[in-house]
Structures are given as C-alpha cells and as structure tokens.
C-alpha cells in the first residue's frame, strides 16, 4: 500500500556518475568564459600597447595564455565547445588588434597561435572519477 505513494525518484536506479556528470556540466558557464576572454585578451593587449620601444612579436601570444587561464578558472569548461568558442574569440580580438597596424603575415599567424594557446591552457584538470564519468558520458555509456 505504501508503494503507491512513493516518489518516482526513489525507484530510479542511477549510477554514481549521473550526479557527477550533471555537476560538471552545470559548472560550465559560457557567459563567464566570454567575459574572461574579453578581460584577459583586451587587458593584456592594452597593457602591451603601453610598453615602450619595440616589442618582439612572440609577446603577442601572451593574451592567449592569459585568456586561457581566466577561462579555466572563471568559465570552468569541460566540453570542447566551451573551450573552443572563447579560443576563437581570443583569436578574432588579436586579429583585429594586429590588423589595425596594417595587414601582414602576422595578422594570420598570431591569432592562430592565440587560439591554440587559449585552447591548451583552458583545459580544466579533473580527477580520475570525473574523467571516467565524462568518458562514459561522451561515449554514450551513461545517459542523463
């Protein structure tokens, strides 16, 4: 008789990975990632514009690193799209900034390096259980 009044959630069998995957996916934030990219890339480029003298071109890869670090801690990305879109935005900002000084080969090379740096640095470190849960989710072994 008491079985009739039980909540449906009490009878569902969920694995330990469901709550872990849901928590990881809810922690991601695209608006915070975009804000972090704007803050990191534009802030670094503005600071570089105040530098006196000739700046080596490889210094213009620093905005991608700074933006990647900020995305990692503010946006907390887990999936590739939450890392890719901020990386592309960082590349577009650097491309516009460099093209203001005139179009050259660096207009195309520096944004690509910034995209790659932002993608590489913004990867979030997960523990073994979180990696295992994401692996199962990506390969369809766990459904939400």
Is residue 129 within 8 A of residue 79, CB to CB? The reply is: no
Q: What is the mean pLDDT of the chain?
A: 88
Mean pLDDT for the stretch of residues 109-122: 93
* 10, pLDDT greater than 70: no
Domain segments of the chain as ranges: 29-138
Report H helices in 38-140: 43-49, 62-74, 81-99, 106-121, 128-138
Nearest to 71 by CA among 21, 31, 109: 31
% of the chain beyond a pLDDT of 90: 63
Averaged over 15-34, what is the pLDDT? 92
- 127 or 10, greater pLDDT: 127
Look at the block and give the residue holding tokens 């879109």.
85
Q: What pLDDT shows up at residue 99?
A: 86
At residue 68, does pLDDT exceed 70?
Answer: yes
At 3, the pLDDT band (50, 70, 90 cuts) reads: low
User: How far apart, in whole angstroms, are the C-alpha atoms of residue 70 and residue 18?
Assistant: 28
Structure tokens at 120: 């590489």
């Amino acid at each position: 008789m008491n079985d009739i009044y039980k909540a449906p959630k009490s009878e569902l069998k969920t694995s330990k990975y469901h709550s872990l995957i849901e928590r990881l996916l809810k922690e991601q934030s695209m608006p915070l990632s975009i804000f972090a990219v704007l803050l990191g890339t534009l802030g670094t480029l503005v600071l570089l514009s105040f530098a006196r003298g000739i700046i080596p071109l490889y210094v213009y890869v620093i905005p991608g690193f700074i933006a990647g670090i900020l995305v990692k801690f503010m946006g907390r990305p887990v999936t590739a799209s939450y890392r890719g879109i901020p990386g592309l935005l960082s590349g577009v900002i650097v491309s516009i900034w460099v093209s203001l000084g005139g179009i050259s080969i660096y207009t195309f090379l520096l944004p690509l390096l910034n995209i790659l740096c932002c993608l590489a640095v913004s990867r979030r470190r997960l523990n073994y259980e979180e990696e295992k849960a994401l692996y199962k989710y990506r390969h369809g072994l766990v459904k939400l």
